[in-house]
Structure formats: structure tokens, C-alpha cells
Amino acid sequence: MPDTRIAQVRVTPIAFYDPPLLNNKGCHQPFALRSIIEVETEDGVIGLGESYGNTPILHGLEIMASKLCGLDVTDLNGLWARARRLIYDESGNSIETQSLLNRIVGAIEVAMWDALGKTTGRRVVDLLGGQVRETVPFSAYLFYKFAQHHGETTPDDWGEVLTPEKLVYEAQRMIDQHGFKALKLKAGVFEPEEEIAGLHALRIAFPEAPLRIDPNGAWTPETTLRLLPQLEGLVEYLEDPTCGIQGNARVQAATTIPLATNMYVVQSSHLPSNMSQDAFRVILADHHYWGGLKASRYLAYVCEIWELGLSMHSNSHLGISLAAMTHLAAATPNLTYDCDTHSPWQTDDVIEGGKMIFKNGALSVPNGPGLGVTLDRGSLARLHQNYLNCGITVRDDTTEMKKHLPDWEFGRPKF
């Protein structure tokens, strides 16, 4: 009988190069942060997880890591119990948020699944209930972007993308390289009419492609209501156009375009008001902040019961996260839209063999037990050194944007 009790947990912060992508909050910094989690069992099997690398989560992960010895990797209830103890004081008052708790559990839980899979010789997709689709489709995640980071003199490989023509070039390149079918435009950067002109250029260049636009809550409800006639028939869903459940419910009541969210329904306590107000009809789930793979399977079940659409959100990430997303999506029957991924924007990885390769816009579930990926120790050391050298400890797109445009102001809603 293998000993699947946890002997130790290691958390390594890393940083990898990220291009100057634009969004409503500002501009991506030159390095994106992640944390790599290794859960080692008494038998020496190592399970992998990956999550955000900002200081608060890193701090939470490090504390949690020290509390996990002896816990069996099958004991997800035990993981939640130990995590809850961390964030409530003796009188039961919360000293941290549910959101941080979910992120901490989500990061470690994936590594526990991986360790269990590696111990039993089973893939995570099988442990999650079985594979329901051969491959997992992803969308092309289009961003406006600067040519280079502040202080650099040479344009990066993608160059500047600030016009509809350049957006079409960016999309073409992503499609040529990865075969994506659906196109998502990160918006909330320019006046909405300008961004919708970008969508029209994409529609002309790619007549068959399902389109989406995501202003990250940058539009007022009034602006969104005014724009709806231009978006009807153009987009498959409209992602977080305005702020909050109430504001989006006003918009949803006025359109047949499904509204999607990864901002306002991000934990289970948000579901009842979403359902009673009929705000969002598509949930863009993310196991990193819903509390892991099992919680995400429960969420999928809730979506099925309430007839909500379901897809996946992404932030800048590397291959361990992508492998986990792929296993989860492959085990989720009611995935109704192609998933998001930032992967094409990343040039580095922390897994052996380098980045996972998309074929026809989709990924196959990695072969091999657990997540089917292994840690490249050389890359881990190099990316950890990046973290130590880069001086970034929290993501701050607004400060970064002000380096490029000192008068620029963040606003949500802004337009």
C-alpha cells in the first residue's frame, strides 16, 4: 500500500517575461509572477501545482505549506479544514478573505491530485470522473499592446498593436501558429466604438470565427445599453461589460447576447444573487480562484442545473496551470465555449519539454500519470532567479501604464 501522506510542501515564487499587453487597469509589467507548488508524499512522489505569485498569496501558501505534513493527498476535506483554521481567529472571525482561501486551496489541491495520480498511475482527468472530450479547444486571446516595455528601445516580436489592422495581424498570427477558432478581444482600453471597429475588422477578416469582447467592467450600464445594437449578431458572448451583478443584470435584461463573467461571480456566495437577478448566463470558471479542480467540477454541476453556459478564464500562466486546465476541461461535460489561455503570449515554461503545443486550436490531455507534466528543475531555478532579480512582488498594471503615459488614469467604469 503506497504511503500518500504529505511529507513536505515546497512553494517557489517565479517570474517570467510578459509582453506589454493593455487592459482597463493599465499595462502588463515586464515580468508576470507565479508560484510553483510541490507536494511530496512519504513515498517521495512529487505532485505539482501552479498559481498566482503576488505577495499575499505567496505568504498564505507558505504558511499553509507548513501545516500539511501528515495529511493524505486524498483528503481534500482535510485540506479545506486546515485552510479554514488558518483564516479564522479563535472567535471564528475571518481574518482573511474567502477569495484568498480559495486561491490557497486551489493551488495546493491541484498538486495533491497530481501526487495521487502519479502514485496510482492514473491521469487527473480519470480521477476527476473520466475524459469526455478528445481535445480541449482554446480561443485566441487578443490584446492591444505597446511595441515594447517602458525603458526598452527595441520592439518585441509582436510589435505595437493599437489599430484594427494590427489586431487582424495579431489574430492571423495566432491562428497560423495555433489554429484557434474563437477570438477574444481584451477591451476597456480605448473608446468602445474604436474597440468595436476592431471587432468589425476581425469579422471581415475571419467571417466564421466566434468573437468575444471583454472590457473588464470598463463601460457604464448606459454605454453598454447604447452599444448593444452594434454587438447583437457580432459576438457569441459579452464578457463583464459593466461593473457588478446589478449593473450587468440591467444589461442582460435588454439583450439576447449572453453575458459572461470572470469578475463578479467568482465564488459560490455570488451565485444566488446572480441567479435571482439573471445577470450572467455564462460563468468563466478558473480553478485557481474557485478552490481547485473538485470545486470547479461542483461549479460545472451548478451551471448544468441552472442552464448556465460554462467556459474557462485565464491569467498569465505556465504549463502546470495549462495542464490542470486541460485535464479539468476534458473531464467537464458541459463546457460550452472554447477556453481562454494567455499561453501564446508566454515564451518560457517551467515544465520539461517546454510549452504544450496546440493543434487546430486545441490541446490533448497530456499523457502520463497525474497531470502528465514534470518540473524542469533548471527552468525553475532560472525563473526563481528572475523573481529575485526583477523586484516585482505584486502585479500592478496601473503603475506600469503610468510609466508609458504619465497622465493616464485608471477608471472602472471609464467609458
Task: Return phi, psi of residue 10, to 5°.
Answer: -110, 140
* Residue 23 partner contact from Mg ion, ligand GKR, none using kind-dependent CB cut-offs of 5 to 8 Å: ligand GKR
Q: What is the DSSP annotation of 306-342?
A: TT-EEEE---S--HHHHHHHHHHHHT-TT--SPBP--
Q: How far is the CB of 305 from Mg ion (least distance, A)?
A: 24
Given the complex with ligand GKR, which of 319 and 369 has the nearer CB atom? Answer: 319
Given the complex with ligand GKR, which of 38 and 349 has the nearer CB atom? Answer: 349
* Residue 186 partner contact from ligand GKR, Mg ion, none using kind-dependent CB cut-offs of 5 to 8 Å: ligand GKR
Q: How far is the CB of 127 from ligand GKR (least distance, A)?
A: 28
Alpha-carbon gap, residue 67 to 82, rounded angstroms = 7
Q: How far is the CB of 142 from ligand GKR (least distance, A)?
A: 11
* Residue 338 partner contact from ligand GKR, Mg ion, none using kind-dependent CB cut-offs of 5 to 8 Å: none
Asked if 299 and 290 touch (Cβ cutoff 8 Å), the reply is yes
Q: In this chain, which residue has its C-beta nearest to ligand GKR? A: 23
Given the complex with ligand GKR, which of 128 and 339 has the nearer CB atom? Answer: 339
Alpha-carbon gap, residue 217 to 413, rounded angstroms = 6
Asked if 113 and 124 touch (Cβ cutoff 8 Å), the reply is yes
| Interacting residue ranges for ligand GKR, rule: CB under 6 A | 21, 23, 186, 214, 216, 262, 313-316
Asked if 45 and 369 touch (Cβ cutoff 8 Å), the reply is no
Residues 6+ apart with CB under 8 A from 281: 237, 252, 258, 259, 260, 308, 309
Given the complex with ligand GKR, which of 170 and 214 has the nearer CB atom? Answer: 214
The residues that bridge with 11 in the sheet, in sequence order, are 37
Given the complex with ligand GKR, which of 215 and 370 has the nearer CB atom? Answer: 215
Given the complex with ligand GKR, which of 67 and 412 has the nearer CB atom? Answer: 412
* Residue 119 partner contact from ligand GKR, Mg ion, none using kind-dependent CB cut-offs of 5 to 8 Å: none
Q: How far is the CB of 191 from ligand GKR (least distance, A)?
A: 18
Q: Is 402 a catalytic residue?
A: no
Given the complex with Mg ion, which of 11 and 279 has the nearer CB atom? Answer: 279
The one catalytic residue in 145, 186, 294, 414 is: 186
* Residue 346 partner contact from Mg ion, ligand GKR, none using kind-dependent CB cut-offs of 5 to 8 Å: none
* Residue 139 partner contact from ligand GKR, Mg ion, none using kind-dependent CB cut-offs of 5 to 8 Å: none
Q: How far is the CB of 282 from ligand GKR (least distance, A)?
A: 12
Task: Return phi, psi of residue 101, to 5°.
Answer: -55, -50
Q: How far is the CB of 268 from ligand GKR (least distance, A)?
A: 19
The residues that bridge with 38 in the sheet, in sequence order, are 10, 48
| Interacting residue ranges for Mg ion, rule: CB under 5 A | 214, 239, 262
* Residue 326 partner contact from Mg ion, ligand GKR, none using kind-dependent CB cut-offs of 5 to 8 Å: none
Q: What is the largest CA-CA distance in the chain?
A: 64
Q: How far is the CB of 184 from ligand GKR (least distance, A)?
A: 8
Alpha-carbon gap, residue 339 to 325, rounded angstroms = 9
Q: How far is the CB of 250 from ligand GKR (least distance, A)?
A: 20
Residues 6+ apart with CB under 8 A from 226: none
Given the complex with ligand GKR, which of 113 and 141 has the nearer CB atom? Answer: 141
Asked if 167 and 185 touch (Cβ cutoff 8 Å), the reply is yes
**Number of other CB atoms surrounding residue 405 within 10 Å:** 12
The one catalytic residue in 28, 178, 294, 313 is: 313
Alpha-carbon gap, residue 323 to 356, rounded angstroms = 8
Task: Return the DSSP state at 130.
Answer: -
Alpha-carbon gap, residue 415 to 189, rounded angstroms = 9
| CB under 8 A, 24+ apart: contacts of 199-202 | 199/231, 199/234, 199/235, 200/164, 200/234, 201/164, 201/165, 201/167, 201/168, 202/142, 202/164, 202/167, 202/168, 202/171
* Residue 4 partner contact from Mg ion, ligand GKR, none using kind-dependent CB cut-offs of 5 to 8 Å: none
Residues with catalytic roles:
186, 313
